[in-house]
Structure 1
Amino acid sequence: MSPLFKNHNFVHYWVGQIASSFAFQMLSVGVGWQMYELTNSPLALGLVGLAQFLPQLLLTLVVGHVADRYNRRLICVCTRLSMALTVGILAFGNISDTISAQMIYFCAAMLGVARAFEMPANQAILPNLVPSDMLSRVMSAIASAREICVIAGPALGGLIYLLGPTTLYLASMSCFLIACGIMFFLHYNFSVKGKTPINLEHLLGGFSFIRGNKVILGSISLDMFAVLLGGATALLPIVAKDILHTGPWGLGLLRCAPALGALLMSIYLARRPLEHSVGKIMFAAVAVFGVATILFGLSESLLLSMFSLVLLGASDMISVVIRSTLVQLETPDEMRGRVSAANSIFIGSSNQLGEFESGVTAAWFGVVPAIVIGGVGTIAIVGIWMYLFPHLVQRNKLEEAND
């Protein structure tokens, strides 16, 4: 057995993450499908996503402070319990036949509030559960679980939905409750080092710390701009239909391909963690991400497109694991909540804006040029960032003293 899975605290955390991720992935399928059945409006689907994202954006400063000031384990317990209760509202709406688009929007916003508080606490608690030299393996193992949920969760949710939306919501609620119970029994020693006054400087501490730490700033901004420019996956429906001339089954394969690549790479990194030249490897991985994006844009074959997307997902996973580990190791425990909150906004915004950027450039230049331009832009960002952040390029190990 891997030493990682001999750590009972990590196993509790890991299983809880799987239960929570499955709950959310299944829920996304049910909410999306039912909203479209109720409204027959693509805009309504977009508004559901917006209802979840806005609370996370608006509460960034507050949730980071809460994660640094209060017990992170209890924050995760409370937020997962609130998510279970929110999904219970959707189940009740179907049972009582009072479900409506407005109810779904309300529940989506409540889920967004809960996730806003959960994410920084959930990320910041990790270094308190395992030794720092195991953190890279931990990030890879968690990434593996997440990708499995991304692949299997929607499929399972679709099958359960055949039994009715009520059944799906009850299944999702059960998973959230399981995740809540597992986190409740997690062994975690909570302590706060001093009581700093709550003011704007304190609330903005996460952003200030990121700005002042070149390693964290370079890794976060590199990932952010790479995702912003290389968001080719937003155009998958158009590529599948108009370029590859395939049906929904082909689109499904294309959507699974990046997650498959990420899953395989995360499993590899969990067994063979990166030990040397992590800075150069991260820049190389982002460059490969750009090359894979260009290859996908030029492809007219389903198999070649799937291969490029698998490569894209695998290279992105390398960058994600290195960035996530560096952020955790470089950040003092008393600031991890605020830094994690700021990091979540950077990455979340880049995903949202990346899809918007891809849509705009596709409308201006066409689908293929838009994807290729995004890939070229990603490679250009790698070159610029290597010049701007030489210390990050020269980073040898994930954990280094006094960087």
Structure 2
Amino acid sequence: MFKVLNNQAFFRFWLGQIISHLGDGFTRIAIVYLVATLSKDPLTIGLVIFAQLLPTAFFGIFFGPLADKYNRKWLMAGADFYRMVIVALMIPFHHSATALIILITFQGLGSALFDPARSSSIPDLVGEENIQPAISLSQSTRAAMDIIAPSVGALLMMANNYTIIFAIDAVTFALSAFFILSLRNLGKINVAKDVSTESYFNSIQSGVKEVIGMPALRFLLILLIPITLVCGILNTNLIAVLTNEFKVSAFHFGFIEAATAVGMIVGASLAAPFAMKKVKPSKIFLSGTASIGLWMILIIPLDRFHVLYGILPVYIWSIMVGILNAFLNVPLNSLFLKVTPAAFRGRGSSLLGITASTASMIGILAGGWLSKEVGVLYGTALSGALLTIVALLMPLLKGYRSLSDNRSTKMEPESKQPVAAN
């Protein structure tokens, strides 16, 4: 996995990811905790995630073609500088949950532009043969920053110093942009001669037609709807469980987030890559989906264990959440980049984001309603049961066989992959 860092261009790309995720982690933990404590309403807590996803759901279709037509380096750098300004504006408004949610929405516009460009740049930097190890490294890096950032963020929150948290995040966006701008060849790779001459709106139409026309990709998009919808419910309820049911402090809230990231590192850097050498990514994706659902059901006995043994069972449970998430995210991203034609990766990434974001937003609203009807604990368990049912039904669908049988989704052993220089 770490062999891809021998590529100096990807190494700088990766450093930019480290810095950006570090600052994002500070801000995310601060905003979630601020909104949770200011509102004490699961639906309002869900609006934080809702606001992050809204721009991708509504504007992603217009941003995806830009990653296929224009210089990705400048798109990503511009998005970073834009988000730097938005985060800086959060400093004077950190006492208002409403203002924070509005600013998060505007920050999401930058992410909606940045993410398709970043995803489609990975194969350009590492080559088609090294997509899977690059994805594993990217997921592991994100998880590592999710350990460090919430931990440091929790310490800063104990001092009630939210100004420093937002200021640090603003600076990290600027540093990330400078690392991206240092990549001279990024954005100069033309994946298809006719992409630059195709009109903007025609490129949107052709991108949708190409992605939807591929059985494996079409099934992947359809499958994401129920999965991300349930995950939206889970995201809303889990935060409410920690803050309102388990009554965790700001200190433990940050470190529980870090514990989840520890599991993600183990899963993304060790367990999932090892499994993908032995088993098809589609089967790992299936088992990961089922396992997360079953693990969410166990939140009911976790409540009892928390009463008997304190906070330790919550940390253990959170670590396993991270490990199981890796068995969903790593094969999903690898499958997408392997199956999508190079000339359509920007538009394909945007469609993937639109599908996931829209379903997640519906799930967030449903999660807020469900928590009020049955409580956050039983709402979380019920969501897990629904996710398990989805996983059990997946093999019965024709599209799953198409995804499973697609030759391009089979990963070669790492020993056969040439070393390349996110």
Regarding TM over 0.5, the answer is: yes
- Paired letter, 2:237: L
Q: 1:297 to 1:47 in 2, by over 3 A?
A: closer
Deviation at 1:126, TM superposition (A): 0.8
Deviations 1:223-249 (A, max 9, x none): 442342254343235545786686666
Q: TM-score, normalised by structure 1?
A: 0.83
The aligned residue for residue 291 of structure 1 is 294
Matches within 5 A, 1:20-39: 20-31=20-31
The aligned residue for residue 145 of structure 1 is 141
Aligned Cα RMSD in Å? 3.5
The aligned residue for residue 398 of structure 1 is 409
> How many residues in Structure 1 have an aligned counterpart in Structure 2?
395
The aligned residue for residue 10 of structure 1 is 10
Q: 1:350 to 1:170 in 2, by over 3 A?
A: same
Counterpart pick for 1:157 among 153, 156, 164: 153
Counterpart pick for 1:182 among 173, 179, 184: 179
Deviation at 1:7, TM superposition (A): 1.2
Q: In structure 2, how many angstroms separate the alpha carbons of the residues matched to 1:358 and 1:103?
A: 22
Residue 134 in structure 1 maps to residue 130 in structure 2: yes
Q: In structure 2, how many angstroms separate the alpha carbons of the residues matched to 1:256 and 1:226?
A: 24
Is contact 2:45–2:239 with CA below 8 Å preserved after alignment? no
Deviations 1:96-146 (A, max 9, x none): xx9987875664343222111111111111110002221111111111111
The aligned residue for residue 216 of structure 2 is 215
- Paired letter, 2:175: I
Matches within 5 A, 1:3-402: 3-31=3-31, 50-90=50-90, 107-160=103-156, 162=159, 164-186=161-183, 187-188=185-186, 189-191=188-190, 193-194=193-194, 195-199=197-201, 202-230=203-231, 231-236=233-238, 239-240=241-242, 254-269=256-271, 272=274, 274-275=276-277, 276-299=279-302, 300-302=304-306, 303-304=312-313, 306-388=315-397, 389-394=400-405, 398-399=409-410
Q: In structure 1, how many angstroms separate the alpha carbons of the residues matched to 2:265 and 2:246?
A: 25
Q: In structure 1, how many angstroms separate the alpha carbons of the residues matched to 2:99 and 2:248?
A: 36
Q: In structure 1, how many angstroms separate the alpha carbons of the residues matched to 2:20 and 2:395?
A: 37
Deviation at 1:323, TM superposition (A): 1.2
Q: 1:258 to 1:193 in 2, by over 3 A?
A: same
- Paired letter, 2:26: M
Q: Secondary structure at the match of 1:193?
A: coil
Deviations 1:301-331 (A, max 9, x none): 1355544443333222122111111111211
Q: TM-score, normalised by structure 2?
A: 0.80
Unaligned runs of 5+ in 2: 307-311, 413-422
Q: 1:301 to 1:321 in 2, by over 3 A?
A: same
Unaligned runs of 5+ in 1: none
Deviations 1:330-376 (A, max 9, x none): 11222111111111122233333333333333333444443333222
Q: 1:377 to 1:49 in 2, by over 3 A?
A: closer
Identical residues among aligned pairs (%)? 20
Is contact 1:65–1:337 with CA below 8 Å preserved after alignment? yes
Is contact 1:280–1:395 with CA below 8 Å preserved after alignment? no
Q: In structure 1, how many angstroms separate the alpha carbons of the residues matched to 2:274 and 2:50?
A: 38
Is contact 1:288–1:312 with CA below 8 Å preserved after alignment? no
Is contact 1:322–1:398 with CA below 8 Å preserved after alignment? no
Deviation at 1:196, TM superposition (A): 1.6
Q: In structure 1, how many angstroms separate the alpha carbons of the residues matched to 2:141 and 2:34?
A: 27
Q: In structure 1, how many angstroms separate the alpha carbons of the residues matched to 2:255 and 2:373?
A: 27
Q: 1:104 to 1:282 in 2, by over 3 A?
A: closer
Q: 1:367 to 1:390 in 2, by over 3 A?
A: same
Q: Secondary structure at the match of 2:126?
A: coil
Higher relative contact order (CA 8 A, sep 6+): 2
Deviations 1:165-200 (A, max 9, x none): 44333322221111011000113233252112333x
Q: In structure 2, how many angstroms separate the alpha carbons of the residues matched to 1:114 and 1:238?
A: 27
Q: In structure 2, how many angstroms separate the alpha carbons of the residues matched to 1:366 and 1:383?
A: 26
Q: In structure 2, how many angstroms separate the alpha carbons of the residues matched to 1:29 and 1:252?
A: 7
Q: In structure 1, how many angstroms separate the alpha carbons of the residues matched to 2:381 and 2:162?
A: 40
Is contact 1:26–1:157 with CA below 8 Å preserved after alignment? yes
Q: In structure 2, how many angstroms separate the alpha carbons of the residues matched to 1:306 and 1:172?
A: 26
Q: Secondary structure at the match of 2:381?
A: helix
Q: In structure 2, how many angstroms separate the alpha carbons of the residues matched to 1:305 and 1:117?
A: 36
